[in-house]
């Protein structure tokens, strides 16, 4: 959101040399968007990740039209893993609510559950890999297989990055005292948004691989 309800067009059409405009500009506090730098930084990272996944998806849709493409089967375990990730995201919503109410005992428990579920998800993904390899679905056998391993790896790496931030969040929540409560709440909020983002990415990738 642009400060003071100014649109991009309004911003870019200001005449900085105009004396009347100058009087208004002199009072400007120098911020463009009503977001903390932490939140804005997170938006930046999410945008970069989104572009990255979108480009992979574009190449996927281009590559799949060639005649050698053969879809991979999706084992039930993959759906179970997806359910685990969905639950972790739902738990994170309750964590965020608890954090806003400063109920940090609930936050601590919730964060541990989220972390545990995330590890279960990652372990589950490795089991899916093992199963597919045992069935002979190697990365080099077919481009569809290659994309499956590529997507799951990329998503897994993003989740591992999220888990690093989760550790930071845990640390902040565990030492939260009155002066750093806002800081901890902020971190919980950022971590939560990233978790939901990763769930969204996974659902898009899963849908792409399942229904394309």
Kindly list the residues in this chain that would bind another protein in the complex (CB under 8 A): 4-6, 10-33, 35, 37, 40-41, 44-45, 47-48, 51-52, 55-56, 59, 62-63, 66-69, 139-140, 143, 146, 150
Instruction: State the nearest-atom distance from the C-beta of 1 to another protein, in Å.
Output: 12
Q: Which of 178, 147, 175 is nearest to 59 (CA)?
A: 147
Alpha-helical segments (H) within the chain = 8-12, 19-26, 37-63, 76-100, 104-134, 143-174, 181-211
Q: How far is the CB of 27 from another protein (least distance, A)?
A: 5
Q: Which is nearer to another protein, 40 or 93 (CB)?
A: 40
Q: Is the Cβ of residue 117 or residue 159 nearer to another protein in the bound state?
A: 159
The string of DSSP codes covering 184-207 is: HHHHHHHHHHHHHHHHHHHHHHHH
Question: Nearest distance from residue 58's CB to another protein, in Å?
Answer: 9
Residue closer to another protein, measured from CB, 51 or 168: 51
Q: Which is nearer to another protein, 89 or 145 (CB)?
A: 145
Q: What is the secondary structure of 38-72 as a DSSP string?
A: HHHHHHHHHHHHHHHHHHHHHHHHHHTTSTT--PP
Query: Smallest distance from the beta carbon of 13 to another protein, in angstroms?
Result: 7
CB of 45: closest distance to another protein in angstroms?
7
Cα separation of 108 and 172, whole Å? 10
Closest CA to 154 of 63, 51, 72, 84: 51
Q: Rounded to whole angstroms, how far apart are CA atoms 149 and 147?
A: 5
> Which one, 50 or 103, has the nearer CB to another protein?
50
Contacts of 159 (CB under 8 A, 6+ apart): 118, 121, 122, 198
Nearer to another protein by C-beta: 66 or 211? 66
What is the nearest approach in angstroms of another protein to the Cβ of residue 194? Answer: 15
In three-state secondary structure terms, 127 is helix
């Amino acid at each position: 959101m642009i400060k003071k309800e100014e649109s991009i067009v309004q911003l870019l059409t200001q005449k900085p040399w105009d004396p009347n405009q100058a009087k208004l500009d002199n009072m400007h506090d120098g911020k463009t968007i009503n977001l903390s730098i932490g939140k804005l930084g997170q938006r930046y990272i999410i945008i970069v990740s989104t572009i990255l996944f979108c480009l992979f998806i574009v190449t996927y849709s281009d590559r799949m039209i060639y005649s050698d493409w053969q879809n991979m089967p999706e084992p039930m375990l993959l759906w179970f893993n997806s359910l685990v990730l969905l639950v972790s995201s739902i738990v994170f919503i309750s964590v965020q609510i608890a954090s806003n109410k400063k109920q940090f005992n609930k936050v601590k428990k919730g964060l541990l559950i989220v972390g545990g579920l995330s590890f279960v998800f990652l372990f589950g993904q490795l089991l899916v890999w093992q199963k597919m390899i045992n069935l002979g679905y190697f990365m080099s056998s077919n481009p569809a297989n290659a994309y499956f391993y590529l997507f799951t790896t990329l998503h897994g790496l993003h989740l591992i990055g999220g888990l690093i931030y989760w550790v930071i969040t845990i640390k902040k929540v565990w030492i939260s005292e009155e002066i750093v409560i806002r800081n901890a709440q902020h971190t919980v909020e950022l971590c939560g948004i990233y978790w939901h983002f990763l769930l969204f990415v996974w659902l898009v990738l899963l849908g792409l691989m399942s229904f394309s």
